[in-house]
Amino acid sequence: MKKLFAIFGNPVSHSKSPLMHNLTFQGLNYDACYTRHLLEKGNTLKETFFTLGLKGINVTIPHKEAAFNACDTLDPFAQKIGVVNTIVEREGSLHGYNTDAPGFLKAISEFNHVKTVLFLGAGGTAQSTSNILRDEGYEVTLLNRSASRLEKFTAKGFTTYTFETFKPKVYDLIINMTSAGLEDDSLPCPKEILDMVIPKAKAAVDVIYGKETPFLKCAKSYNIPTKDGSDMLLYQGIIAFEYFTENTYSFDEIKPHMQKAFLL
């Protein structure tokens, strides 16, 4: 029987995930279909999942914490960070994973000799990625506009600053983890801060994909290597696909099919 998958979010119309997964199902002759569902209330996630007769979902803004709460079983990493973006149904119970963080880790692995990382932003994406980076031996510092969001990072032992308290040092990698530049022309922090840290960095990365944000434009003006969030999106999708198909296909078998979504 054809297996059904979906992405849940609000908004969800912009998501590339249906295209990525459907191209891969087709390319691998896997009998499945992937759609999108506008989920308004996070607390209806589980009920909606079963009503739609789904085998698995990806979850995007703003329901990743609700997804965590809806799961019956959690992968140890998802359990640790409290954020789930991939759910698979097995024998009536929901199993939760986080594929954003390993996807991000793989996306930045091309930058060698990186030890210190400065995150601009402290939202949900920063929460999962900061933990995996620290587990891998990177030293992560967070800089955020509001102090309140930094509290849980400080409690977990990360060095954190607001724009007002920031004391710059040399960071190898500067990452825009905010939504600044997604739908507007704003920078993630005051330009003076970028002018202090970017020239000394080895590279700059934005998690926003498909456009050159003001942050990436600024980093390019200093002639350092840059990349946007496309690889992160691709890699989190490949890892989710491995879970959806219970590891029937390897990362390298999935990649050429899913990558086609970025050429269309």
Nearest CB to ligand NDP, comparing residues 74 and 208 = 208
Amino acid identity of residue 67, one-letter, is: A
123 interacts with ligand NDP by CB under 6 A: yes
The structure tokens listed for 239 are 């890892």
Nearest CB to ligand NDP, comparing residues 60 and 245 = 60
147 interacts with ligand NDP by CB under 6 A: no
Of 216, 233, 239, 254, the residue at the interface with ligand NDP (CB under 6 A) is: 233
Do you find a cis peptide bond into 11, omega within 30 degrees of 0? yes
Of 87, 205, 232, 238, the residue at the interface with ligand NDP (CB under 6 A) is: 232
227 interacts with ligand NDP by CB under 6 A: no
15 interacts with ligand NDP by CB under 6 A: no
Report the catalytic residues: 64
DSSP H helical ranges for 52-177: 64-70, 76-81, 100-108, 124-135, 151-155
188 interacts with ligand NDP by CB under 6 A: yes
106 interacts with ligand NDP by CB under 6 A: no
Decide the pairing of beta strands 86-90 and 56-59: antiparallel
124 interacts with ligand NDP by CB under 6 A: yes
Of 32, 39, 87, 122, the residue at the interface with ligand NDP (CB under 6 A) is: 122
Q: Tell me if 142 sits within 8 A of 158, measured CB to CB.
A: yes
Rounded-to-integer distance, Cα 231 and Cα 229, Å: 6
Q: What are phi and psi of 234, to 5 degrees?
A: -60, -50
182 interacts with ligand NDP by CB under 6 A: yes
- Binding-site size, ligand NDP (CB under 6 A): 26
DSSP H helical ranges for 52-190: 64-70, 76-81, 100-108, 124-135, 151-155
Q: Binding residues for ligand NDP, per CB under 6 A?
A: 61, 100, 121-126, 144-146, 149, 177-180, 182, 186, 188, 207-209, 229, 232-233, 236
